[in-house]
Structure 1
Amino acid sequence: MNEFTINSFEEYLRIVSDDIGVTDQKGQRKRRYFRGQTKRAFEGYDLKPSIGRYAHLNSLPPAERDRLENEVLETFSNHLLTYVNHLPRNDWEALAIAQHHGLPTRFMDWTTNPLVALYFACRDSKKDKAGNPHDSAVYVLISEPPRFSELRRQQKNGAASAEEPESAAPVSGDDDGYDDFGLDESGEPLVLADDELETATATRPRTQPEPTKEGELSPFDISGNVIYDPPHVSPRIRAQDGVLLACHQPMQPLEEKDVLELVISQAAHDDIRRRLDQYGVFDKQLFPDLDGIAKWLKYRVFKINGMT
């Protein structure tokens, strides 16, 4: 795994802007995804989805694990619409909501915003058993997996025009990673308004999302990792520029060739936290609720004594 060591906020900005190819030679923005971790992967916090952290699942055959995931999702979905105002339309949206609320899934949280990833890497400095502080890390996904919206569009085009089989091949694209975040192919928001929700629920039971239709791409049947732009079921997803990586081998960590590691020196954590606060990348912005405000006040008043 290639890596850089970051010793300052300015150095981080320079590296993500210049050294990792966020823009191409013509100055056009390339899509990059970032993930911040308070512990580095080699320290035992592998780059794998939350369901992959349950070692006993490794003893199950893949088909049995898939069956278990589907059963858990079905149970979750049976309770879902009692608590949320968003009507999931398929397993992708249902899994995204489950991930957001802490259920172990085959999705991994990433962001298109490198400062958000830096926040998660430095928010809480960790120490080892001897009390020595840990370096943290931001990981950059450099393998450019296809996006669900692209695959779905290609699938529809392929069904409409059998004479163009090449349209079914994954295309990574090079447009801005923000351009269709939270949008379907028509450009309409995925989150339903209250009146739309009432109309939708009047025509079908309020139990669970429609299963993925036969022939449609399922998160349980993908043959490679896929980027999924989740609907804005929570203000946190929008605030954090969140995306999800659907992992086709959820029990296995990402391959080293797929990521770049930016090691954030623990000695720089305090200054980076202050700089992020100055840039508006902190608790009350990324967690736009009472929890975020409380965390922000705790940090500003009690941890740094009002200093920024």
Structure 2
Amino acid sequence: MPISEIEVSSISDLIEEILQRGRELEPGRFFWFRGLSRRSHSLLPSIMRDGKSFDIVREREERLLARFRQRSIAYWKEGYNQTLWDQLFSMQHYGLPTRLLDWSENLMVSLYFALQSRATDAFADADPPVVWCVDPIAWNRATPSLSGYGETIHVLTTVNEEIESYEPMSNRRQVKYPVAMFGSHNSDRIVAQRGTFFIWGNSTESLEEFSESDVDANLTRFVLSGSPADLFKDLQKLGFTETMIFPEMSYLAEELKRTEGWRA
């Protein structure tokens, strides 16, 4: 179905739009959010953004995963169960390309990522930041490969049999459509950012392309038409600062320098 696009000029307008849609959700349903610094950026995992075929994507992911497993052993906590899924989520967390696409259960987290790199832009240009919104349960139930399960399908986890075809290094034939799943909260960042994921199958199409063709689920793009710099300041006034998103010492230092007015 066509993607809904709504223009908002303030954080309060964005919140009201989300709340209005939330009131129409059935009990037990919820939204996920993803912020992008440019409207032109696609909802596509990093490993697929250079237009290579899925066979090349699979080969790349398997090699990266094998090398990551070999080299990361010394950095894992003693006794931690290092499954392939855990390794894949860690790769995503540390910036290695995977078939995963990050989302968040927290609207303000997604807004932070939409605005962070645009914080010095006085005016929104022809390619403004955006926040995407999706009902992940509706998406999974509308996905052709899962639609036959009806209302028994929710957000998938790593123990669901429906996710087996998406497993890293799996010999099973991968299915076409991306699906929404919960991942391992094996880092402080994922916990703080309320991280969730979509994982891709054997197609390199973007989420928008799937939504516009044969996945009849409501995917909404909120275009932030106000000044990105002013919106980012408003977000910080609401308490969504560096350490809320990145609970690490280096970001604490950045936050203190900013709040204390340090300019050197």
**Percentage of identical aligned residues:** 24
Which of 243, 258, 263 lines up with 1:284 in the alignment?
243
TM-score normalised over the length of structure 2: 0.76
Aligned pairs for 1:1-308 within 5 A: 1-18=3-20, 21-24=21-24, 28=27, 30-41=29-40, 45-55=41-51, 57-58=52-53, 62-85=54-77, 86-89=80-83, 91-125=84-118, 134-142=127-135, 144-146=138-140, 171-173=152-154, 216-219=164-167, 221-249=174-202, 251-255=204-208, 257=211, 259-267=219-227, 269-302=228-261
Q: Give the counterpart letter for 1:263 in structure 2.
A: V
* 1:204-225 alpha-carbon deviations (Å, 9 max, x no partner): xxxxxxxxx9x94433524421
The 2-side partners of 1:65 and 1:169 are apart by: 31
Number of positions where the alignment pairs a residue of Structure 1 with one of Structure 2? 239
* 1:181-215 alpha-carbon deviations (Å, 9 max, x no partner): 9x979xxxxxxxxxxxxxxxxxxxxxxxxxxx9x9
The 2-side partners of 1:137 and 1:25 are apart by: 22
Deviation at 1:169, TM superposition (A): 6.4
The 2-side partners of 1:97 and 1:6 are apart by: 34
Deviation at 1:233, TM superposition (A): 1.4
Q: Give the counterpart letter for 1:32 in structure 2.
A: F
RMSD, aligned CA: 3.5
* 1:6-36 alpha-carbon deviations (Å, 9 max, x no partner): 1111101101110xx323366x352211100
The 1-side partners of 2:120 and 2:206 are apart by: 23
* 1:89-117 alpha-carbon deviations (Å, 9 max, x no partner): 2x322211111111101100100111111
The 1-side partners of 2:119 and 2:229 are apart by: 12
Deviation at 1:64, TM superposition (A): 4.2
Q: Secondary structure at the match of 1:108?
A: strand
Structure 1: where are the runs of 5+ without partners? 155-165, 186-212
Instruction: Judge conservation of contact 2:112–2:235 (CA < 8 Å) in 1.
Output: yes
Q: Secondary structure at the match of 2:139?
A: coil
| Closer, same or farther: CA 137–71 of 1 in aligned 2, 3 Å | same
Larger Rg: 1
Deviation at 1:142, TM superposition (A): 4.3
Deviation at 1:273, TM superposition (A): 2.3
Q: Secondary structure at the match of 1:295?
A: helix
Instruction: Judge conservation of contact 2:30–2:135 (CA < 8 Å) in 1.
Output: no
Q: Secondary structure at the match of 2:64?
A: helix
The 2-side partners of 1:291 and 1:22 are apart by: 36
| Closer, same or farther: CA 40–295 of 1 in aligned 2, 3 Å | farther
Q: Secondary structure at the match of 2:34?
A: strand
TM-score normalised over the length of structure 1: 0.66
